Amino acid sequence: MNERNEPETGGLSQQQRQQFSQMLDKLYQCCTDSHVYLSEKFDIPQAELRCLMLFGHERYLTAKGIAGRLGIARSRVTKLVGGLADKKLLVRVPDPADSRVVLLSLTPAGQKLRQEVADLQRSLRDAVLTAIDPDRRHIVLQSLDMLKAAMERVGEALE
């Protein structure tokens, strides 16, 4: 076999490594481009948009919970929450069970914006799936599920 296709450790060829790396980079770039598009469309910084979308079906979140989900420092969450509060998209509510804790909740305007963003995300994802041959969609989805599972296993091994 030539050097480009010769299997190496783990049965991986250099070509497979390069193709996988390039595909992950391209997928990441597509996702980043999508976040930029949504940020510009709704005129909200990307970090605030990611924070807003965390609420999903959650009525309340804490700064600590947001920091953990976004993988950022709590001091950064304070700035994000301040920006969302200034835009009247989020309010701070004292926790009745623990006066040291502040609960964060979306305002009706925040809920509306979160739903608009979610609806547009859904339509963009539908457009991607529609661009795939209907007979091959299940293969793509199965492959993505395998990729996700493999990435999670590797991630768990790193912990």
Rg of the chain over CA atoms, in angstroms?
A: 20
pLDDT in tens for each of the 159 residues of the chain?
444 555 556 788 999 999 999 999 999 999 999 999 999 999 999 999 999 999 998 899 999 999 999 999 988 999 999 999 999 999 999 988 888 889 999 999 999 999 999 999 999 999 999 999 999 999 999 999 999 999 999 999 998
Four-CA torsion 13, 14, 17, 22, nearest 10 degrees: -140
Domain that holds residue 84: 44-158
**Of the candidates 110, 4, 96, the residue with the CA atom closest to the CA atom of residue 49:** 110
**One domain, residues 31 and 48:** no
The answer to whether residues 11 and 80 belong to one domain is: no
CA atoms within 13 A on the CB side of 27: 9
Q: What is the CATH number of the domain that holds 68?
A: 1.10.10.10
- State pTM to two decimals: 0.83
